[in-house]
Amino acid sequence: MTHTHSNKVIVGMSGGVDSSVAALLLKKQGYAVSGLFMQNWRDDDPEYPCTAKEDAMDAYRVCEQLDIPMDAITFIDEYRERVFQHFLDTYKRGWTPNPDILCNKEIKFRAFLDYALQQGADFIATGHYARLRRDAEGIRLLKGVDPNKDQSYFLCALSTEQLSRALFPVGDLEKPEVRRLAAQAEFANAQKKDSTGICFIGERDFKRFLTRYLPAQPGEIRSDKGDLIGRHDGLMYYTLGQRHGLGIGGRKDAGDEPWFVAEKHLDSNTLIVVQGTDHPLLYSRGLLAEQCNWIGVDPPAEPLHLSAKTRYRQSDQICRVEPESGGRVRVIFDQPQRAVTPGQAVVFYRGEICLGGATIVGTWR
Q: Which residues contact 342 (CB under 8 A, 6 or more apart)?
A: 93, 94, 95, 96, 360, 361, 362, 363
Catalytic residue of the set 103, 156, 292, 354? 103
Cα separations in angstroms, 359 against 67, 120, 160: 42, 34, 19
CB 301 within 8 A of CB 323: yes
Angle at 277 between CA 271 and CA 281, to 5 degrees: 50
156 catalytic? Reply is no
Question: 199 catalytic, yes or no?
Answer: yes
- Catalytic one of 63, 156, 199, 319: 199
Question: How far apart, in whole angstroms, are the C-alpha atoms of residue 338 and residue 286?
Answer: 11
What DSSP string describes 156-179?
Answer: TT--HHHHHTEE-GGGGS-HHHHH
First CA to last CA distance, the chain: 59
**Catalytic annotation, residues:** 103, 199
